[in-house]
Structure 1
Amino acid sequence: MQYFTNLFLNIRFRDVIDILIVAFAFYKLFMLIRETRAEQLIKGIVVLLVATNLSEILELYTVFWIFEKTMTVGVIALLIVFQPELRRALEHIGRTRFFTKSFAEIKDEDINTLAEEIVEAAASLSRQKIGALIVFERETGLSEVVDTGTRINGKVSSGLLINIFIPNTPLHDGAVIIREDMIRAAGCFLPLTDNANLSKDIGTRHRAALGITERSDSVAIIVSEETGVISVAENGVLTRYLDIKALREILVNMYKPKSPKTNFLSKWRDRYE
């Protein structure tokens, strides 16, 4: 008790700050890896650490030697295994307000007009059951994705979006990339999601939308070719069965967010999933 009393009395203000910084860093790390492959991998690492210490305490020298060598080489293996998560974490740090500018640079009076053009295109494609995939580039650049398609560099309009996705045309099967109010490219190839827990009725378009939103802060709108259902993907999460009113509100909030931490899809997920 005397030891803990002295320890408590000798805590300085800078020590409290130090502890709070470390606690905040661990909290943000936990939030980044929650519900990802990294969560299970970290559990496995914890088990290995416990097993290594137990083997040393129980004087199981051969087992301890194997675990010790495994942990030594494991540092390099971790960098390889956790590469997607490390990239995601660094991109998350790079998207903080200190380093980045606001996503939308469009005038307030033009946001509703832009959202209406996109909504009109999505509604028309949905009625005709024409498949579509529209990706909105935000802070994370998608230049490598743009390079896989055909550059458009045209202003967003419902007519142009509908024409791009007309069946049996060269750009129909790819994704459209939009930055602010410009269509940067069409017919782009996207990485598919690694999530093995998705339902089998989730098609390639939806998996591609989830894949790009897992690797960046982009947002994707998907129109199903089979059902005409409109869905939106953000942060690797799919929100399905959106109506036109909900889609319009999502687009307006995306271009004009209320706060940097606002997740403009969260209010619809419970309703439509």
Structure 2
Amino acid sequence: MIYRTNEEATFKTEMKTHLIQIEMDTNKIIESIDQTDQCLLCELESLHDQFNAMHAEASSFYLQSYMEEFTPAFAEFSIAIEQLSKQKHGALIVIQRRDEVENFIQKGTPLHARISASLIESIFYPGNPLHDGALLVKENTLVSAANLLPLTSKKVNPSLGTRHRAAIGLSGMTDALVLVVSEETGKMSFAKEGVLYPLTVKDRSQM
């Protein structure tokens, strides 16, 4: 666990560096805000880009931290959901951790296949009979597809679709991580402990 401790320390140092830079840039904007020739919109766009870069780094770091003890295939999932997101192919992927999840789901079609990004992408390709349900993952195995998950009973944002409600529902009943790609927007997110978090996959060349 020394490796993970060192990695986390490095991550937090990088986050501090980013935040200090954002603070400095924000102070510069405040100091010059009354200047008539200042492009405030340009300055805000720069801050937005910096926050987006931080979010990509943080979401990738924490998701990998939550997954790595339970599946060695984080890179394959990153590749798959990034491609699914670009194509706006909806996806719902359950990563089982300590809690057994099969008692909470309506079982779909058995797969028992080794994890690969290309297989995950093909499962969620529109028109594939397996693409509408959830993919269940245990360790390094794609166990089954087209599983039905329990929907959350919590009051959530009305804009959230069935996939997101299912992700929140199952993750609130078990310690599973549930990855979601929206078919409408292509946006990625993951659910943990009944809470949905936006996800930006870090550039694979930096992983």
TM over 0.5: yes
Q: CA RMSD of the aligned region, Å?
A: 2.4
Deviation at 1:145, TM superposition (A): 5.0
Alignment map for 1:83-94 (pairs within 5 Å): none
Distance in 1 separating the partners of 2:70 and 2:152: 30
**Residue-by-residue CA offset, 1:162-202 (whole Å, 9 max, x unaligned):** 01001111111000010111111100000000102x11101
Question: TM-score when scaled to structure 2?
Answer: 0.63
**Which residue is equivalent to 1:143?**
102
Pick the aligned partner of 2:152 from 193, 197, 206. Answer: 193
What amino acid maps onto 1:174 in structure 2? G
Number of aligned pairs? 140
Distance in 2 separating the partners of 1:217 and 1:128: 29
Asked if the contact 1:205–1:222 (Cα under 8 Å) also holds between the matched residues in 2, the reply is: yes
Question: TM-score when scaled to structure 1?
Answer: 0.48
Corresponding residue SS for 1:200: coil
The structure that is helix-richer by fraction is 1
**Which residue is equivalent to 1:79?**
none
Deviation at 1:148, TM superposition (A): 1.5
What amino acid maps onto 1:228 in structure 2? G
Pick the aligned partner of 1:203 from 150, 154, 161. Answer: 161
The structure that is strand-richer by fraction is 2
Pick the aligned partner of 2:69 from 87, 99, 104. Answer: 104
Is 1:227 paired with 2:192?
no
Corresponding residue SS for 2:125: coil
Is 1:172 paired with 2:103?
no
Pick the aligned partner of 2:117 from 136, 153, 158. Answer: 158
**Which residue is equivalent to 1:243?**
200
Deviation at 1:146, TM superposition (A): 6.2
Distance in 2 separating the partners of 1:210 and 1:216: 10
Deviation at 1:144, TM superposition (A): 3.0
Residues 158 and 145 from structure 1, CA distance in 2 versus in 1: closer, same or farther, beyond 3 angstroms?
A: farther
Distance in 2 separating the partners of 1:136 and 1:176: 9
Asked if the contact 2:99–2:176 (Cα under 8 Å) also holds between the matched residues in 1, the reply is: yes
Tell me which of the two structures has the higher relative contact order, counting C-alpha pairs closer than 8 angstroms and 6 or more residues apart: 2
- Unpaired stretches in structure 1, ≥5 consecutive residues: 1-102, 253-273
Identity across matched positions, percent: 38
Alignment map for 1:49-88 (pairs within 5 Å): none
Pick the aligned partner of 1:214 from 147, 172, 175. Answer: 172
Corresponding residue SS for 1:186: strand
- Unpaired stretches in structure 2, ≥5 consecutive residues: 1-67
Distance in 1 separating the partners of 2:102 and 2:131: 20
The structure with the larger Rg is 1
